[in-house]
Amino acid sequence: MYSKFDFKLTNSFYNTELNKYLEFGKKEYDNHKAKVKQDLKKFIYDNGKINGSSLKEHWFNIVDADIFISHSHQDINKVKAFAGWLKHNFNLTCFIDSCVWGYCDELLKQIDDEKCKNANSSTYSYELRNYTTSHVHMMLSIALSEMINNSECVIFFNTPESVSLTADLESLKENKHSTTLSPWIYHELAMTSLIRPIQPKRETIILEHSDRRTLFAAEQNTIHISHDVDKYISEMIKLTDEDLKKWKRTYGVLTHQLDGDNIPFIKGYEDINALDVLYSIKGIV
């Protein structure tokens, strides 16, 4: 991980810009989810055995992502559209965290049905259920941490639902199939503060006020460890709709996709990494 952003989406930007990429984003998400489901089943629970040791060794091969998106389940369609927008406009691959925790309950139910039922009963052993739940949750926490560590950028999709445990509990009361996701979000936010930033090994650009572009060596940002969710979020760089619009416009100009408005094109920038353009816009050096 190198960068982390706190993004608050407005309805107007979603309706006018992101919504058209929803179906494209859904296809990307479904492809990742299918692979995650297949591999988690293989690594955590295969041949009737719970095997956590192989998960950490193989998890990073599941999806090679540029961006890790942390979100509430209530925002899933908006997040899929956002991921589709990022893929279409910048060719950036996003890993949406619900690919992991969205499969958690299904996997646990399978394990518990086979391993934790009381003899001659439809009920479960409390002690065994505690063990399987803690084991699987620990393995998924490791998997999420690995994905965050191996993704260059983390974007927290910040909505009122994202960090509200109370809202999740109320949802659980109303619908037994709902999943309490806030603990996963808490874990992910904490990891963005605990994981040491890794500088990308490539030349990047900085956009100066005069619209001249020069190469520079990126310096690592300082990350401070904290144990408060609000402070985790405060450590993130704020990302707005206007930032995204400027990012798309600037990247389009640099890669010859859009008219430069009298800004001269520079040979060799067709292959520029889109995240470097975002870093330059937000002043990350």
**Structural domain boundaries in the chain:** 3-194, 204-225+240-281
pLDDT over 90 percentage in the chain = 35
Q: Is the alpha carbon torsion for 129, 131, 134, 140 positive or negative?
A: negative
Q: What is the pTM of this model?
A: 0.79
pLDDT grade for 26, boundaries at 50, 70 and 90: very high
Mean pLDDT rounded to a whole number for the chain: 78
Question: In this predicted model, what pLDDT tens digit does every residue of 104-162 receive, in sequence order?
Answer: 777 788 888 888 999 888 899 999 999 988 888 887 888 788 889 989 999 999 887 66
Query: What is the 3-state composition of the chain as percent helix, strand, coil, each rounded to the nearest 5?
Result: 55, 10, 35
What's the N-to-C CA distance of the chain in angstroms?
Answer: 15
Of 18-32, 153-167, 209-223, the least confident: 209-223
